[in-house]
């Protein structure tokens, strides 16, 4: 059952990444495209939220399922690189929006929101794909996983010392 759930959520991440790339290409298109209805967007956010509830379980040290994809060193390096580039892309768009807003170029800042949101969707679906495909223990260090599981606890422990 857990292996089937992992395979389904891995497939969701793959399909979601393709959909996010399509959204990004439509957001960057020079022509106006038809916007989907609000109920469709809300439904997709609810589904995506449910996937994230399943993805971020509270016991990161326990192995709940074997990896869906065999993690060779080359594949793991590629996965880390893709995740890094996607994160950097989101940060570049976020900084661009702030810079455009500070320079009072509101029309460009408003235009940049849609590609930024598409890149956030792409980052989240890429993470879902890598999380369920390779397992977080194979992608991240033990220290990072402990910090990600309880960031406030890690910060407060350092402040108290």
Nearest to 51 by CA among 59, 60, 43, 62: 43
Residue 89: burial class (beta carbons within 10 Å; 0-12, 13-18, 19+): middle
Mean pLDDT to the nearest integer, 33-48: 80
In contact, 23 and 121? CB cutoff 8 Å: yes
pLDDT band per the 50, 70, 90 thresholds, residue 145: confident
Per residue in 78-124, pLDDT tens?
999 999 999 999 999 999 888 888 888 878 877 888 889 899 999 99
**pLDDT at residue 60 greater than cutoff 70:** no
Q: Which residue has the higher pLDDT, 158 or 28?
A: 28
Residue with tokens 């260090």: 141
pLDDT of residue 2: 76
**What is the DSSP secondary structure assignment for residue 30, as one 8-state letter?**
S
What range defines the domain where residue 102 resides?
2-160
Per residue in 8-36, pLDDT tens?
999 999 999 999 999 888 888 877 767 66
In contact, 106 and 11? CB cutoff 8 Å: no
Mean pLDDT to the nearest integer, 43-57: 86
Mean pLDDT to the nearest integer, 131-158: 82
Number of domains in the chain: 1
């Amino acid at each position: 059952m857990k292996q089937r759930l992992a395979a389904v959520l891995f497939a969701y991440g793959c399909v979601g990444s393709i959909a996010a790339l399509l959204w990004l290409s439509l957001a960057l298109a020079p022509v106006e495209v038809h916007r989907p209805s609000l109920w469709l967007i809300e439904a997709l956010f609810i589904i995506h939220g449910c996937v994230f509830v399943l993805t971020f379980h509270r016991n990161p040290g326990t192995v709940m399922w074997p990896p869906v994809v065999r993690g060779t060193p080359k594949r793991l390096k590629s996965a880390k690189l893709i995740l890094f580039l996607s994160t950097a892309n989101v940060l570049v768009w976020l900084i661009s929006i702030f810079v455009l807003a500070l320079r009072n170029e509101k029309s460009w800042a408003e235009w940049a929101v849609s590609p930024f949101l598409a890149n956030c969707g792409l980052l989240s679906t890429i993470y879902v794909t890598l999380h369920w495909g390779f397992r977080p223990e194979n992608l991240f260090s033990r220290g990072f996983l402990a910090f990600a599981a309880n960031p406030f606890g890690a910060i407060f422990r350092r402040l108290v010392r």
